[in-house]
Structure 1
Amino acid sequence: MTSIFIFSLTAILEIAGCFAFWIWARENASGWWMLPGVACLIGFAYLLTQIDVSHAGRAYAAYGGIYVVASLAWLWGMEGARPDFWDSVGGAICVLGTLVILFGPRAVAS
């Protein structure tokens, strides 16, 4: 799987997991919402370990841009609030940062 695909699936799981807790805590929904929330967050944590980079911190940093864009897609698709111009600009900047982190040239260790 490519890094972008893994990051995208990871973001969906993280957002869904956090959203389940949001519904429980903020909307006074049943505690049963926490079960799929925990399952999604476990899947998120596992998938993030599958990124092909040399250091965990680099995977987390690169993931951040994909998470931002996925959050804006969730905002629009699941919550019905269309991202505005500034959301779109910010998301594009974050994706650019992700691409630089993932594909920027690295010095060869001697």
Structure 2
Amino acid sequence: MSARSVALFVLAALLEIGGAWLVWQGVREHRGWLWAGAGVVALGLYGFAAALQPSAEFGRVLAAYGGVFIVGSLVWGAVADGFRPDRWDVAGAVVCLVGVALIMYAPRSG
């Protein structure tokens, strides 16, 4: 497992989840187009963070990122919106992280 890869997954999650949250705040919570615009910029930067992963397999990176996104969304909701994950949310998040580890970091031949 590469520290760079893990850091890029965390950065990508912050940019994508944070960007979506900013758009949500701008549109649904009527905070204005500046918030929504900042969200669009963050979402664009997410694409760059994902592209910097050391792995050259787009499908593998994005599949693994799906698990990171799930965990990050639960954490973001807890921190930003007061959402309290229950034991099933936590269990599902752990399963997702195991999946991420298998997809990205399992030893492969060839």
**Structure 1 unaligned regions, length at least 5:** none
Match of 1:64 in 2: 66
Residue 42 of structure 2: aligned partner: 40
CA distance in 2, matches of 1:34, 1:78: 17
TM-fit CA distance, 1:106: 2.0
| d(CA) in 1 for partners of 2:80, 2:29 | 15
Corresponding residue SS for 1:2: helix
Q: Which whole-Å CA distance do the structure 2 matches of 1:3 and 1:67 have between them?
A: 15
Determine the structure 2 residue equivalent to 1:94. Answer: 96
Question: 1:20 Cα deviation (Å)?
Answer: 1.2
Partner of 2:81: 79
Q: Deviations over 1:46-95 (max 9, x none)?
A: 00001111210111011111111111110110001111111100100000
CA distance in 2, matches of 1:45, 1:66: 15
Q: Partners of 1:12 and 1:39 in 2: how far apart?
A: 13
Q: Cα RMSD (Å) of the superposition?
A: 1.2
Q: Which runs of 4+ in 1 moved over 4 A?
A: none
How many residue pairs are counted as aligned between the two chains? 108
Aligned mates of 2:11, 2:89 — CA distance in 1: 21
Asked if 1:10 corresponds to 2:12, the answer is yes
| In structure 1, distance between residues paired with 2:83 and 2:34 | 26
Which consecutive residues of structure 2, in runs of 5 or more, have no partner in the other structure?
none
TM-score, normalised on structure 2?
A: 0.91
Q: Between 84-93 and 35-44, report the one with greater CA deviation.
A: 35-44
